[in-house]
Structure 1
Protein backbone atom coordinates (compact mmCIF):
# COMPACT_ATOMS: atom_id res chain seq x y z
CA UNK A 1 0.00 0.00 0.00
CA UNK A 2 1.53 3.32 -1.07
CA UNK A 3 1.59 6.50 1.01
CA UNK A 4 -1.37 8.03 -0.81
CA UNK A 5 -3.53 4.99 -0.11
CA UNK A 6 -2.51 5.03 3.54
CA UNK A 7 -3.41 8.70 3.88
CA UNK A 8 -6.77 8.14 2.20
CA UNK A 9 -7.46 5.23 4.53
CA UNK A 10 -6.60 7.31 7.59
CA UNK A 11 -8.75 10.19 6.39
CA UNK A 12 -11.69 7.86 5.74
CA UNK A 13 -11.29 6.36 9.21
CA UNK A 14 -11.42 9.75 10.93
CA UNK A 15 -14.46 10.79 8.87
CA UNK A 16 -16.17 7.60 10.01
CA UNK A 17 -15.30 8.28 13.66
CA UNK A 18 -16.53 11.87 13.49
CA UNK A 19 -19.77 10.82 11.80
CA UNK A 20 -20.30 8.10 14.41
CA UNK A 21 -19.79 10.52 17.29
CA UNK A 22 -22.14 13.00 15.67
CA UNK A 23 -24.80 10.30 15.28
CA UNK A 24 -24.32 9.25 18.92
CA UNK A 25 -24.83 12.84 20.10
CA UNK A 26 -27.95 13.18 17.97
CA UNK A 27 -29.31 9.93 19.41
CA UNK A 28 -28.43 10.97 22.97
CA UNK A 29 -30.31 14.22 22.47
CA UNK A 30 -33.31 12.44 20.95
CA UNK A 31 -33.46 9.97 23.85
CA UNK A 32 -33.37 12.83 26.35
CA UNK A 33 -36.22 14.60 24.57
CA UNK A 34 -38.27 11.40 24.39
CA UNK A 35 -37.62 10.84 28.09
CA UNK A 36 -38.86 14.32 28.99
CA UNK A 37 -41.97 13.77 26.86
CA UNK A 38 -42.69 10.45 28.57
CA UNK A 39 -42.37 12.02 32.03
CA UNK A 40 -44.68 14.90 31.06
CA UNK A 41 -47.26 12.48 29.66
CA UNK A 42 -47.10 10.22 32.73
CA UNK A 43 -47.67 13.21 35.02
CA UNK A 44 -50.67 14.29 32.94
CA UNK A 45 -52.28 10.87 33.46
CA UNK A 46 -52.44 11.21 37.26
CA UNK A 47 -55.88 11.95 38.68
CA UNK A 48 -55.68 15.59 39.84
CA UNK A 49 -57.86 14.66 42.82
CA UNK A 50 -55.36 12.10 44.07
CA UNK A 51 -53.51 13.34 47.12
CA UNK A 52 -50.72 12.18 49.39
CA UNK A 53 -50.26 12.76 53.11
CA UNK A 54 -47.19 14.74 53.99
CA UNK A 55 -45.76 15.02 57.49
CA UNK A 56 -44.37 18.17 59.01
CA UNK A 57 -41.73 18.84 61.64
CA UNK A 58 -44.30 20.91 63.47
CA UNK A 59 -46.26 19.32 66.30
CA UNK A 60 -49.50 20.38 67.89
CA UNK A 61 -50.12 21.09 71.56
CA UNK A 62 -50.65 17.38 72.19
CA UNK A 63 -47.26 16.49 70.73
CA UNK A 64 -48.70 15.02 67.52
CA UNK A 65 -46.96 15.60 64.23
CA UNK A 66 -48.92 17.79 61.85
CA UNK A 67 -50.11 15.95 58.74
CA UNK A 68 -51.28 17.68 55.58
CA UNK A 69 -52.44 16.53 52.19
CA UNK A 70 -51.07 17.72 48.87
CA UNK A 71 -51.59 16.66 45.24
CA UNK A 72 -49.89 13.37 44.44
CA UNK A 73 -48.89 14.48 40.94
CA UNK A 74 -45.47 16.16 40.96
CA UNK A 75 -44.91 15.25 44.60
CA UNK A 76 -41.48 13.96 45.64
CA UNK A 77 -42.94 10.47 46.10
CA UNK A 78 -44.66 10.47 42.74
CA UNK A 79 -41.66 11.73 40.80
CA UNK A 80 -39.24 9.36 42.54
CA UNK A 81 -41.46 6.38 41.73
CA UNK A 82 -41.88 7.63 38.17
CA UNK A 83 -38.13 7.95 37.60
CA UNK A 84 -37.54 4.39 38.80
CA UNK A 85 -39.47 2.85 35.91
CA UNK A 86 -39.61 5.53 33.21
CA UNK A 87 -36.81 4.02 31.10
CA UNK A 88 -38.97 0.95 30.44
CA UNK A 89 -40.94 3.31 28.20
CA UNK A 90 -37.92 3.32 25.89
CA UNK A 91 -38.90 -0.20 24.84
CA UNK A 92 -41.52 1.55 22.70
CA UNK A 93 -38.89 3.47 20.72
CA UNK A 94 -36.57 2.62 17.88
CA UNK A 95 -33.74 4.55 16.27
CA UNK A 96 -34.34 6.05 12.88
CA UNK A 97 -32.45 8.20 10.39
CA UNK A 98 -34.19 10.73 8.17
CA UNK A 99 -33.40 11.64 4.58
CA UNK A 100 -30.84 14.24 5.66
CA UNK A 101 -28.95 11.68 7.76
CA UNK A 102 -30.14 13.00 11.12
CA UNK A 103 -30.41 10.31 13.79
CA UNK A 104 -33.40 10.32 16.11
CA UNK A 105 -35.92 8.05 17.83
CA UNK A 106 -39.52 7.32 16.96
CA UNK A 107 -42.29 5.81 19.07
CA UNK A 108 -43.44 2.49 17.60
CA UNK A 109 -46.49 2.04 19.83
CA UNK A 110 -49.33 4.51 20.19
CA UNK A 111 -50.30 5.52 23.73
CA UNK A 112 -53.91 5.04 22.67
CA UNK A 113 -53.32 1.55 21.33
CA UNK A 114 -53.67 2.56 17.68
CA UNK A 115 -51.30 0.71 15.34
CA UNK A 116 -48.54 2.90 13.95
CA UNK A 117 -46.82 2.67 10.61
CA UNK A 118 -43.08 2.91 10.24
CA UNK A 119 -43.23 2.86 6.46
CA UNK A 120 -40.13 4.31 4.79
CA UNK A 121 -38.20 4.27 8.07
CA UNK A 122 -35.21 1.99 8.55
CA UNK A 123 -34.83 0.81 12.11
CA UNK A 124 -32.41 -1.40 13.97
CA UNK A 125 -33.48 -3.32 17.05
CA UNK A 126 -29.91 -3.46 18.32
CA UNK A 127 -30.14 0.26 18.90
CA UNK A 128 -32.87 -0.35 21.49
CA UNK A 129 -30.15 -1.38 23.94
CA UNK A 130 -28.33 1.89 23.36
CA UNK A 131 -31.55 3.92 23.68
CA UNK A 132 -32.33 2.35 27.05
CA UNK A 133 -28.72 2.72 28.20
CA UNK A 134 -28.75 6.44 27.38
CA UNK A 135 -32.05 6.87 29.22
CA UNK A 136 -30.75 5.10 32.34
CA UNK A 137 -27.54 7.14 32.22
CA UNK A 138 -29.51 10.40 32.15
CA UNK A 139 -31.65 9.33 35.10
CA UNK A 140 -28.65 8.09 37.08
CA UNK A 141 -26.70 11.32 36.63
CA UNK A 142 -29.46 13.92 36.75
CA UNK A 143 -32.45 12.47 38.62
CA UNK A 144 -32.32 14.94 41.50
CA UNK A 145 -32.19 18.00 39.25
CA UNK A 146 -34.94 16.62 37.03
CA UNK A 147 -37.23 15.97 39.98
CA UNK A 148 -36.60 19.51 41.17
CA UNK A 149 -37.77 20.91 37.84
CA UNK A 150 -40.77 18.62 37.40
CA UNK A 151 -42.06 19.61 40.83
CA UNK A 152 -42.87 22.97 39.28
CA UNK A 153 -46.33 23.07 37.78
CA UNK A 154 -45.41 25.67 35.18
CA UNK A 155 -42.13 25.40 33.31
CA UNK A 156 -42.77 26.12 29.60
CA UNK A 157 -39.26 25.26 28.40
CA UNK A 158 -38.76 22.03 30.36
CA UNK A 159 -37.16 20.28 27.38
CA UNK A 160 -34.56 23.03 27.02
CA UNK A 161 -34.01 23.22 30.78
CA UNK A 162 -33.30 19.49 31.05
CA UNK A 163 -31.86 18.35 27.72
CA UNK A 164 -30.11 21.61 26.96
CA UNK A 165 -29.00 23.05 30.30
CA UNK A 166 -28.83 20.15 32.76
CA UNK A 167 -27.92 17.12 30.64
CA UNK A 168 -26.12 19.15 27.91
CA UNK A 169 -27.44 16.65 25.37
CA UNK A 170 -29.01 19.05 22.87
CA UNK A 171 -28.18 22.31 21.18
CA UNK A 172 -30.75 24.95 20.33
CA UNK A 173 -30.78 23.73 16.73
CA UNK A 174 -31.60 20.19 17.87
CA UNK A 175 -34.47 21.40 20.03
CA UNK A 176 -35.98 23.40 17.18
CA UNK A 177 -36.55 20.23 15.14
CA UNK A 178 -39.58 18.18 16.24
CA UNK A 179 -39.03 14.52 17.05
CA UNK A 180 -40.37 12.27 14.27
CA UNK A 181 -43.76 10.66 14.77
CA UNK A 182 -45.24 7.61 13.09
CA UNK A 183 -48.52 7.95 11.24
CA UNK A 184 -51.49 5.66 11.75
CA UNK A 185 -51.08 2.33 10.02
CA UNK A 186 -52.82 1.81 6.71
CA UNK A 187 -54.42 -1.57 6.05
CA UNK A 188 -51.97 -4.13 4.67
CA UNK A 189 -48.95 -1.99 5.40
CA UNK A 190 -45.76 -3.34 6.95
CA UNK A 191 -45.15 -1.87 10.37
CA UNK A 192 -41.37 -2.15 10.55
CA UNK A 193 -38.86 -2.35 7.73
CA UNK A 194 -35.22 -3.46 7.72
CA UNK A 195 -35.28 -4.79 11.27
CA UNK A 196 -32.67 -7.27 12.40
CA UNK A 197 -32.62 -9.33 15.59
CA UNK A 198 -35.23 -11.09 17.64
CA UNK A 199 -36.93 -9.50 20.63
CA UNK A 200 -37.22 -12.90 22.30
CA UNK A 201 -33.47 -13.27 22.39
CA UNK A 202 -32.63 -9.69 23.34
CA UNK A 203 -30.68 -9.34 26.56
CA UNK A 204 -29.55 -6.27 28.42
CA UNK A 205 -26.10 -5.34 27.28
CA UNK A 206 -24.29 -5.03 30.59
CA UNK A 207 -21.05 -4.59 28.74
CA UNK A 208 -21.94 -1.33 27.04
CA UNK A 209 -18.84 0.73 27.54
CA UNK A 210 -18.98 3.49 30.12
CA UNK A 211 -16.87 5.40 27.58
CA UNK A 212 -20.08 5.96 25.58
CA UNK A 213 -21.47 7.83 28.54
CA UNK A 214 -18.26 9.67 29.36
CA UNK A 215 -17.75 10.87 25.79
CA UNK A 216 -21.23 12.39 25.80
Structure 2
Protein backbone atom coordinates (compact mmCIF):
# COMPACT_ATOMS: atom_id res chain seq x y z
CA UNK A 1 0.00 0.00 0.00
CA UNK A 2 2.80 2.38 0.92
CA UNK A 3 4.62 1.68 -2.35
CA UNK A 4 1.46 2.45 -4.31
CA UNK A 5 1.05 5.73 -2.41
CA UNK A 6 4.67 6.68 -3.17
CA UNK A 7 4.17 6.01 -6.89
CA UNK A 8 1.01 8.08 -6.91
CA UNK A 9 2.73 11.01 -5.19
CA UNK A 10 5.63 10.74 -7.65
CA UNK A 11 3.23 10.77 -10.57
CA UNK A 12 1.40 13.83 -9.24
CA UNK A 13 4.73 15.64 -8.74
CA UNK A 14 5.86 14.76 -12.25
CA UNK A 15 2.61 16.08 -13.71
CA UNK A 16 2.94 19.29 -11.71
CA UNK A 17 6.51 19.79 -12.94
CA UNK A 18 5.51 19.21 -16.56
CA UNK A 19 2.55 21.59 -16.31
CA UNK A 20 4.67 24.26 -14.61
CA UNK A 21 7.41 23.92 -17.22
CA UNK A 22 4.89 24.21 -20.05
CA UNK A 23 3.28 27.26 -18.45
CA UNK A 24 6.70 28.92 -18.08
CA UNK A 25 7.63 28.12 -21.69
CA UNK A 26 4.36 29.44 -23.06
CA UNK A 27 4.58 32.56 -20.94
CA UNK A 28 8.03 33.37 -22.34
CA UNK A 29 6.43 34.26 -25.66
CA UNK A 30 3.92 36.44 -23.85
CA UNK A 31 6.39 39.24 -24.47
CA UNK A 32 5.98 39.09 -28.22
CA UNK A 33 7.74 42.43 -28.59
CA UNK A 34 10.96 41.05 -27.10
CA UNK A 35 10.72 37.88 -29.20
CA UNK A 36 10.05 39.89 -32.34
CA UNK A 37 13.03 42.11 -31.60
CA UNK A 38 15.23 39.01 -31.30
CA UNK A 39 14.03 37.83 -34.73
CA UNK A 40 14.63 41.33 -36.12
CA UNK A 41 18.14 41.30 -34.64
CA UNK A 42 18.94 38.06 -36.46
CA UNK A 43 17.56 39.46 -39.73
CA UNK A 44 19.70 42.57 -39.24
CA UNK A 45 22.75 40.35 -38.87
CA UNK A 46 21.85 38.81 -42.23
CA UNK A 47 21.45 42.25 -43.82
CA UNK A 48 24.73 43.54 -42.41
CA UNK A 49 26.61 40.42 -43.59
CA UNK A 50 25.37 40.74 -47.17
CA UNK A 51 28.15 40.94 -49.70
CA UNK A 52 27.80 43.07 -52.84
CA UNK A 53 26.37 40.99 -55.67
CA UNK A 54 26.21 41.45 -59.41
CA UNK A 55 22.95 41.86 -61.25
CA UNK A 56 21.10 38.67 -62.08
CA UNK A 57 21.41 37.93 -65.78
CA UNK A 58 18.25 36.18 -66.93
CA UNK A 59 19.01 36.52 -70.65
CA UNK A 60 18.87 32.80 -71.39
CA UNK A 61 17.41 32.71 -74.88
CA UNK A 62 18.89 33.66 -78.19
CA UNK A 63 16.84 35.40 -80.85
CA UNK A 64 17.09 34.63 -84.58
CA UNK A 65 20.11 36.96 -84.87
CA UNK A 66 22.01 35.25 -82.04
CA UNK A 67 21.36 38.05 -79.53
CA UNK A 68 20.56 37.13 -75.94
CA UNK A 69 17.01 37.91 -74.82
CA UNK A 70 15.60 38.31 -71.33
CA UNK A 71 16.08 40.58 -68.34
CA UNK A 72 18.93 41.74 -66.17
CA UNK A 73 17.66 42.29 -62.62
CA UNK A 74 19.38 44.23 -59.87
CA UNK A 75 20.15 41.74 -57.06
CA UNK A 76 19.04 44.24 -54.39
CA UNK A 77 15.43 44.14 -55.68
CA UNK A 78 15.36 40.46 -56.59
CA UNK A 79 13.31 37.65 -55.11
CA UNK A 80 16.56 35.71 -54.74
CA UNK A 81 17.84 38.25 -52.20
CA UNK A 82 14.65 37.96 -50.15
CA UNK A 83 14.85 34.17 -50.19
CA UNK A 84 18.50 34.22 -49.11
CA UNK A 85 17.72 36.61 -46.24
CA UNK A 86 14.62 34.83 -44.91
CA UNK A 87 15.44 31.21 -45.70
CA UNK A 88 16.74 29.54 -42.58
CA UNK A 89 16.03 32.55 -40.35
CA UNK A 90 13.83 30.58 -37.98
CA UNK A 91 16.36 27.75 -37.77
CA UNK A 92 18.94 30.35 -36.70
CA UNK A 93 16.56 31.38 -33.92
CA UNK A 94 17.29 28.02 -32.28
CA UNK A 95 20.59 29.63 -31.25
CA UNK A 96 18.58 31.98 -28.98
CA UNK A 97 17.09 31.35 -25.57
CA UNK A 98 15.38 33.25 -22.80
CA UNK A 99 18.02 33.94 -20.15
CA UNK A 100 17.78 35.54 -16.73
CA UNK A 101 19.43 38.92 -16.44
CA UNK A 102 19.17 39.81 -12.79
CA UNK A 103 16.57 38.49 -10.39
CA UNK A 104 13.41 39.24 -12.40
CA UNK A 105 14.43 40.41 -15.87
CA UNK A 106 14.55 37.94 -18.75
CA UNK A 107 15.81 38.62 -22.24
CA UNK A 108 16.24 36.73 -25.50
CA UNK A 109 19.95 36.20 -26.04
CA UNK A 110 22.06 34.47 -28.66
CA UNK A 111 23.81 31.53 -27.04
CA UNK A 112 27.50 30.99 -27.62
CA UNK A 113 27.93 28.33 -24.93
CA UNK A 114 24.88 26.28 -23.88
CA UNK A 115 26.71 25.12 -20.73
CA UNK A 116 27.30 28.68 -19.54
CA UNK A 117 23.71 29.90 -18.95
CA UNK A 118 21.96 30.98 -15.77
CA UNK A 119 19.14 28.50 -16.51
CA UNK A 120 19.30 24.77 -17.13
CA UNK A 121 20.39 23.50 -20.52
CA UNK A 122 17.16 21.56 -21.08
CA UNK A 123 15.01 24.59 -20.23
CA UNK A 124 17.18 26.78 -22.47
CA UNK A 125 16.74 24.35 -25.38
CA UNK A 126 12.97 24.37 -24.85
CA UNK A 127 12.95 28.18 -25.04
CA UNK A 128 15.00 28.05 -28.25
CA UNK A 129 12.37 25.80 -29.83
CA UNK A 130 9.64 28.19 -28.66
CA UNK A 131 11.24 31.23 -30.28
CA UNK A 132 11.90 29.27 -33.45
CA UNK A 133 8.19 28.36 -33.61
CA UNK A 134 7.27 31.96 -32.86
CA UNK A 135 9.54 33.07 -35.73
CA UNK A 136 7.73 30.71 -38.09
CA UNK A 137 4.34 32.15 -37.14
CA UNK A 138 5.69 35.70 -37.39
CA UNK A 139 7.06 35.13 -40.89
CA UNK A 140 3.89 33.35 -41.94
CA UNK A 141 1.92 36.48 -41.02
CA UNK A 142 4.33 39.10 -42.38
CA UNK A 143 6.48 37.47 -45.08
CA UNK A 144 4.72 38.85 -48.17
CA UNK A 145 4.75 42.46 -46.97
CA UNK A 146 8.26 42.11 -45.55
CA UNK A 147 9.53 40.70 -48.86
CA UNK A 148 8.04 43.61 -50.78
CA UNK A 149 9.60 46.13 -48.40
CA UNK A 150 12.99 44.44 -48.69
CA UNK A 151 12.78 44.52 -52.49
CA UNK A 152 11.80 48.21 -52.41
CA UNK A 153 14.82 48.97 -50.23
CA UNK A 154 12.62 50.08 -47.30
CA UNK A 155 14.26 47.63 -44.89
CA UNK A 156 17.87 48.26 -44.04
CA UNK A 157 20.27 47.76 -41.20
CA UNK A 158 18.96 49.66 -38.18
CA UNK A 159 15.27 49.72 -39.06
CA UNK A 160 14.30 46.03 -39.22
CA UNK A 161 12.86 46.09 -35.71
CA UNK A 162 10.64 49.08 -36.47
CA UNK A 163 9.41 47.65 -39.76
CA UNK A 164 8.89 44.08 -38.55
CA UNK A 165 7.82 44.54 -34.94
CA UNK A 166 5.94 47.84 -35.05
CA UNK A 167 4.66 48.36 -38.58
CA UNK A 168 3.97 44.82 -39.82
CA UNK A 169 3.29 42.58 -36.83
CA UNK A 170 2.43 45.38 -34.40
CA UNK A 171 3.84 43.33 -31.55
CA UNK A 172 5.70 46.40 -30.29
CA UNK A 173 3.18 49.07 -31.19
CA UNK A 174 2.62 51.56 -28.39
CA UNK A 175 -0.63 52.78 -29.92
CA UNK A 176 -2.53 49.50 -30.12
CA UNK A 177 -6.17 49.81 -29.18
CA UNK A 178 -7.97 47.43 -26.87
CA UNK A 179 -9.77 46.05 -29.95
CA UNK A 180 -6.37 45.25 -31.54
CA UNK A 181 -5.23 43.53 -28.34
CA UNK A 182 -8.44 41.48 -28.13
CA UNK A 183 -8.16 40.38 -31.77
CA UNK A 184 -4.47 39.55 -31.32
CA UNK A 185 -5.19 37.49 -28.19
CA UNK A 186 -7.91 35.56 -30.03
CA UNK A 187 -5.50 34.85 -32.92
CA UNK A 188 -2.77 33.76 -30.49
CA UNK A 189 -5.17 31.49 -28.62
CA UNK A 190 -6.24 29.90 -31.91
CA UNK A 191 -2.63 29.38 -33.07
CA UNK A 192 -1.71 27.89 -29.67
CA UNK A 193 -4.63 25.44 -29.99
CA UNK A 194 -3.49 24.55 -33.53
CA UNK A 195 -0.05 23.62 -32.25
Q: Identify the match of residue 95 of structure 1 among 94, 98, 112.
A: 98
SS at match of 2:74: strand
How far the C-alpha of 1:37 sits from its partner, in A, is 1.9
Residue 199 of structure 1 corresponds to which residue in structure 2?
A: none
Residue 122 of structure 1 corresponds to which residue in structure 2?
A: 119
CA distance in 1, matches of 2:29, 2:97: 14
Contact in 2 for aligned 1:31/1:105 (Cα 8 Å): yes
Q: How does 1:35-184 map to 2 (within 5 A)?
A: 35-54=39-58, 65-71=69-75, 73=76, 75-99=78-102, 101-109=104-112, 118=116, 121-122=118-119, 124=123, 125-153=125-153, 155=155, 156-172=158-174
CA distance in 2, matches of 1:74, 1:32: 24
Contact in 2 for aligned 1:134/1:213 (Cα 8 Å): no
- Matched residue pairs, number? 150
Contact in 1 for aligned 2:34/2:108 (Cα 8 Å): yes
Q: 1:39 to 1:75 in 2, by over 3 A?
A: farther
SS at match of 2:141: helix
How far the C-alpha of 1:149 sits from its partner, in A, is 2.1
Contact in 2 for aligned 1:54/1:70 (Cα 8 Å): no
For structure 1, which runs of at least 5 residues remain unmatched after alignment?
1-18, 110-114, 173-208
Residue 29 of structure 2 corresponds to which residue in structure 1?
A: 24
SS at match of 2:109: strand
CA distance in 2, matches of 1:36, 1:64: 40
CA distance in 2, matches of 1:105, 1:136: 16
CA distance in 2, matches of 1:29, 1:61: 57
For structure 2, which runs of at least 5 residues remain unmatched after alignment?
1-23, 175-188
Contact in 2 for aligned 1:32/1:169 (Cα 8 Å): yes
RMSD: 3.7
How far the C-alpha of 1:54 sits from its partner, in A, is 5.0
